[in-house]
Structure 1
């Protein structure tokens, strides 16, 4: 987000003796000091007669969760794992397009076979890592190794494209250069692991992949982009390029590398959280690592949900458990009391066991991400994820 560019007096320096003070008509939004410019007119965007915009900047007021919505999530059934149906030739690959515009479209998606299969894929990934550490040995196909290598290449590009010198605190414009290279290289990256007969699928795969790392116009990233990465993996499963025996490696090798890349992008290029709920959201950027991470910790002998408040546990085990790594990253980038900047995660730490945490997060992901029009309006549909 662009910083304010109005003139204001130094907050700590009084006027020189005899200097004439300029007329003041407002106060600086950063420091509270007087400003020579009039305050901007009140936008009607949040008035009663106009609905809120689909994208709210990071500094918009945080909205507390709706108790009725929370109750609906609690009463909803826990999503179940499903086998991904592998597509068979003749293929009819197509450029995927947006379809969702209203709550009715969301209900249509959730009732469709594609919608249920996608949720079931996420649950299956969660179950595949249950009780396993990141470093535990697992089956690693050549495809998985190639995908990991691709993510390492994208990480290396960050070193080659340093952040630009600019006044704005958020949204470093060098990210657009990084993202442009990603888009231009998308097809060649897919060719690294796709068999020849499936290379025409790039027309469908590249848009999901390109949207997995944030938006270059707004220079932001959120759970919708993360969901695109899961959708890209789902499409690879639909093509039979990855199989169920690859699922543990998808989480512990591919997704872990993806998270490392995204956190570096967030820090280096100061990506804004897309559509952040402020303190009332689970996390500014991610959701899936908390689902996968809570599954890892199910039935752990020593670590309980309340263990996130133990610094020694975070320091020693964050490299093995995605949930703890997520908490550690939040504590690294946010200051102050954890209960104040992350009240939802603090509340979850009071849940008695990880199985309840995992099932609750799966229900919450479905309700707060996959069933939200502002997020899913950007989701794409083609032949692999069909609009039914």
Structure 2
């Protein structure tokens, strides 16, 4: 549960925003590259990595259409994402000279900025609603940057952080693990793909052809775990469009490949070189282990990504216990 006292580095003004329950709007703490050591030693890092790995294990060998329970909180989160989706329809792109970064995105984002806390509070049980002031900030961070009109793995991590916080306060339970990935996170991916296509969002800090993907990383980790020990599908098969089209509704990894094929032209080996290289790995288990290592190195240990991470009472900058 939440700890009392203001987060390290918070100002008196921040402290005034803190609620009686000990929740407050989380703050940025990683200001210079040398602060990265604090991040890697923090409770937040340990909790976040633990959350990603727990879900990675829970989805192993399971399809998107397998049976699992859908709790009231999961239903509520799907409703929130549905609302954000509807707002896209109500906020069409505007005519502008620039092809990328349609400015209508800022109008869409302003609705979320104004309504996020109320949307989150409505999903939480009555005795947990005080947490909305802290948890809702991660939802606002999860959909891209309104100034640059871009989106990347740091924003994706903010959504995973949002879900992690809901687990920490008990709104989401251990029984919800499959639904967290297969329903909530998958619905979030659909929302982000619609935002990217509608407002022509730029990749945030993309490494271009040398990155794994322009926008996402986590669905490749969890999606490769789904495919571990699959009787017929091997890593070499995901570069075959026929295989992707036949199986994308069951496997998150293949749905990501399908979206890349839809958005990019030319030989796969040229526009998605890292993924092409991964297709040569002999087993999904090795793919999964390699992607976890790559995620730590290329996302969680990169200052340009982590400088935007926010810390509060639920995900603390304080050092983790040994």
User: If the length of structure 1 is used for normalisation, what is the TM-score?
Assistant: 0.76
C-alpha deviation, 1:197, in angstroms: 2.4
SS at match of 1:192: helix
Deviates more, 1:151-160 or 1:295-304: 151-160
In the alignment, is residue 97 of structure 1 matched against residue 97 of structure 2?
Answer: no
Contact 1:128 1:247 in 2 (8 A): yes
Q: Which moved more, 1:132-141 or 1:197-206?
A: 197-206
Query: Retained in 1: the 8 A contact 2:128–2:171?
Result: no
The answer to whether residue 67 in structure 2 is matched with residue 137 in structure 1 is: yes
User: Who is 1:182 aligned against?
Assistant: 112
Structure 2 gap ranges (5+): 5-19
1:164 has 2:94 as partner: yes
Question: 1:110 pairs with 40, 49, 52, which one?
Answer: 40
Point out the structure with max Rg over C-alpha. 1
The question of 1:286 aligning with 2:224 is answered: no
Partners of 2:2 and 2:23 within 8 A in 1: no
Q: Is residue 2:303 matched to residue 1:361?
A: no
Deviation at 1:92, TM superposition (A): 1.1
Following superposition, the deviation at residue 88 of structure 1 comes to 7.7
Query: SS of the counterpart of 1:369?
Result: helix
Residues 44, 311 of structure 2: 8 Å contact kept: no
In structure 1, the residue matched to 2:16 is: none
**Matching residue within 180, 203, 212 for 1:250:** 180
Q: Structure 1 residues 128 and 255, CA, compared in 2 at 3 Å: closer, same or farther?
A: same
In structure 2, C-alpha distance between the alignment counterparts of 1:297 and 1:339, rounded to whole Å: 22
Aligned CA-pair RMSD: 1.3
Separation in structure 1 between the aligned mates of residue 246 and residue 85 of structure 2, nearest angstrom? 25
Q: Is contact 2:43-2:315 (8 Å) kept?
A: no
My pick for the range that moved more, 96-105 or 367-376, is: 96-105
Matched, 1:325 2:245: no
Shift of 1:332: 0.8
Retained in 2: the 8 A contact 1:220–1:272? yes
Instruction: Return the match for 2:57 from 127, 140, 163.
Output: 127
1:1-388 alignment runs, 5 A limit: 86-87=1-2, 91-388=21-318
Contact 1:87/1:240 (CA < 8 Å) preserved in 2? no
Q: Return the alpha-carbon distance in structure 1 between the equivalents of residues 43 and 30 of structure 2.
A: 16
Secondary structure, counterpart of 1:213 in structure 2: coil
Structure with the higher fraction of residues in helix conformation: 2
* Greater Cα shift, 151-160 or 268-277: 151-160
| Structure 2 CA distance for aligned equivalents of residues 205 and 112 of structure 1 | 18
How many matched pairs? Answer: 303
- Determine if contact 1:147/1:193 at 8 Å carries over to the other structure: yes
Per-residue deviation, residues 92-134 of structure 1 (Å, max 9, x unmatched): 1112110112333222221223311210101111111111111
Q: Distance in 1 between matches of 2:190 and 2:104?
A: 19
Residue matched to 2:14: none
Q: Is the 8 A contact 2:43 2:317 kept in 1?
A: no
Deviations 1:244-287 (A, max 9, x none): 11011000000110000000000010000001101100000000
Q: CA deviation at 1:166?
A: 1.1
Q: CA deviation at 1:154?
A: 0.9
CA distance in 2: counterparts of 1:91 and 1:374, whole angstroms = 32
For residues 177-223 of structure 1, the C-alpha deviation after alignment (integer angstroms, 9 at most, x for no partner) is: 11100111111111221122222212111211101000111100000
Q: CA offset at residue 87 of structure 1?
A: 4.7
Query: What do residues 122-167 of structure 1 show as CA deviations (whole Å, max 9, x unaligned)?
Result: 1111111111111111011100011011111111111111111111
Query: Relative contact order, CA 8 A, sep 6+: which one is greater?
Result: 2
Query: Which residue of structure 2 lines up, in the alignment, with residue 57 of structure 1?
Result: none
